[in-house]
Structure 1
């Protein structure tokens, strides 16, 4: 229909002052000749199909079709004041159809006064995922120093070198890497946003699967001390459960075990002991529960809906939203125990 509209605009000079949505009011489409012709009688109202903001350039094209008049090509739609802009979004911004994201930039700047860099990065991810930002790359360029505020300090502590300094490019890359990590934990990626920069490939390759690294970010020696403390107070019945499950993990024989007991009988104690045992070996244990409150009882606990991608409304045809070769799938394959 776009091409037919463009052709009609070329043939009829009076169409130069007509917007796309208003075109059916003065022209009618002839299905035999496949052309628009001047309307001689009757009346019609045009309508442009709704497009969500998350569709990117399609959304910005729809905005322009409601503003630009007499266009005969897609270049004409992107032309403002005789300047042809590379994208529909840029043309929308010049025409003032989009916000400049100033309120979000101000919010990040204000939050940086009292919050640390990790919090600011999570805030930025929330804005990205919710499609609140019109130009996310502009917000990034305006706020990258706030988003990377704590990174230099963390590297100084990690390398035990208070004089360690990082270049601006390194700070940006480490901040983007942490943002990508948070995005992946929400089943998203910076790759979903064409305008956003990505961490350099070398850092990405070094990081591997961030979900897996998250589950390995613990002190093995501290876990061994914690395990020793738990085993020193374990009862005979609890030790039998512990040995049975750990034997299956060690021998990789697999199995499913149901732990039942009344409140106060030590179920959470056994779960914590098993978790400490797996972590003390440098392996992965995934702790999940059916509710947020229950998941707080376990180290690194998550709700089952969050970790396994379970739908909120479950029916006979329901499936998990974890795709093959995804970070979530790799995490599940590397896990030695799921509680």
Structure 2
């Protein structure tokens, strides 16, 4: 006997073209599929046998009554159950099928996903907890081995082929363990393109770039990362930042040396400077925005305070723009520029003057990515 099954709320419903949809949905048969009726039978407190059987074993002891849409104890005959075959590419349905060959007497979908008293979020996680799936270590080792002799492009395609094979139990675990091997060429290529040494790219951006390349490979094979529910999907809009020369220039700082510099500068702050520093950092970390006017006569440590703030944020790979009203003053700050140069401020101002920054320009994208500004 072939045993159909379905995910929650996905049971098939047959109806005529002229039937009223409300009438169709209120039919008793909609909630009494063969699979759901099996779990209803397991709720009978007087039927101890039902709760000792798997779905496959059930037809041997019970018979399905189509007219009543229920299972009844078998009185004669012999029947062997067989669950419909499901391809691994169908995801949760595939893992549900695996569990139906193991779990006995469940009363609900949550019971099927319960292992040692813990209800797992997905059927796949339940399979993994029961030891029914491999740990994918062989795939991780294969990628590591390929990385020793092959290019990053080859490693990305190799991972794409693994996805297409539908043989990995947890592709997202393999991805998190090996994504760095798929990005070795990016920093070198962009540093050479923009002629910037020591270019630093955030991990999230590197991951996104690799995912875009994998998505291209899958697309050429009539597939997509969207077919793998646990895999992240790339954001193509953020890729343009990697082509932005201005943003790349602001990421050329050595974060390790800046971290050491920050510690040294912070320890030399006075109590008053530290109070200002913490207030500004609180606003930056909380992303609440704000404008701070730090004033004092020459030698009170205004520039020193801002050097500390710059080192603190740049050591976290954040973008800081140091600007000043004059070229000489801008030289006192690391990466300093004049305000007119950075913000495209016209030299001759009038009541109709505006900063000539287009919404989709590199400067606009730089300002959008910037964590804080300093006007000296």
After TM superposition, the structure 1 = structure 2 runs for residues 26-65 of structure 1, keeping only pairs within 5 Å, are 26-65=61-100
Output the CA distance in 2 between the equivalents of 1:132 and 1:5.
30
Give SS of 1:196's match. Answer: coil
Which residue number corresponds to residue 81 of structure 1? 116
Match of 1:6 among 30, 39, 42: 39
Q: Is 1:150 matched with 2:188?
A: no
Write the distance in 2 (CA, Å) between the matches of 1:30 and 1:186: 45
After TM superposition, the structure 1 = structure 2 runs for residues 84-95 of structure 1, keeping only pairs within 5 Å, are 84-95=119-130
- Say if 2:92 and 2:123, in contact at 8 Å, map to a contact too: yes
Show the counterpart of 1:169. 204
1:130 aligns with one of 142, 151, 165:
165
Counterpart-to-counterpart distance in 1, 2:241 and 2:37: 52
Provide the rounded CA distance (Å) in 2 between the counterparts of 1:79 and 1:204: 41
- Following the alignment from structure 1 to structure 2, what is the Cα–Cα distance between the partners of residues 8 and 188? 40
The 5 A counterparts of 1:249-268 are: none
Deviations 1:90-112 (A, max 9, x none): 10111111111110100001111
Asked if the contact 1:9/1:71 (under 8 Å) is kept, the reply is yes
Normalised by the size of structure 1, how large is the TM-score? 0.58
The alignment partner of 1:10 has SS state of coil
Is 1:18 matched up with 2:16? no
Query: Residue 104 of structure 2 is aligned with which of 45, 51, 69?
Result: 69
Alignment of 1:1-339 (within 5 A): 1-11=34-44, 12-203=47-238
**Do the aligned partners of 2:212 and 2:236 also contact (CA within 8 Å) in 1?**
no
Structure 1 residues 204 and 50, CA, compared in 2 at 3 Å: closer, same or farther? farther
CA distance in 2, matches of 1:29, 1:88: 26
Deviation of residue 77 (structure 1)? 0.7
More helix by share: 1
Between the aligned partners of 2:241 and 2:80, the Cα distance in structure 1 is: 57
Supply the distance in 1 between the matched residues of 2:75 and 2:41 (Cα, whole angstroms): 15
Deviations 1:191-219 (A, max 9, x none): 22111111225236889xxxxxxxxxxxx
Contact 1:28 1:39 in 2 (8 A): yes
Q: CA RMSD in A?
A: 1.7
Rg larger for = 2
**How many residue pairs get matched?**
207
Q: Against the structure 1 CA distance between its residues 204 and 154, is the aligned structure 2 distance closer, same or farther, given a 3 Å change threshold?
A: closer
User: How far apart, in 2, do the equivalents of 1:82 and 1:65 lie?
Assistant: 18
Work out whether residues 177 and 203 of structure 1, in 8 Å CA contact, stay in contact via their aligned partners in 2. no
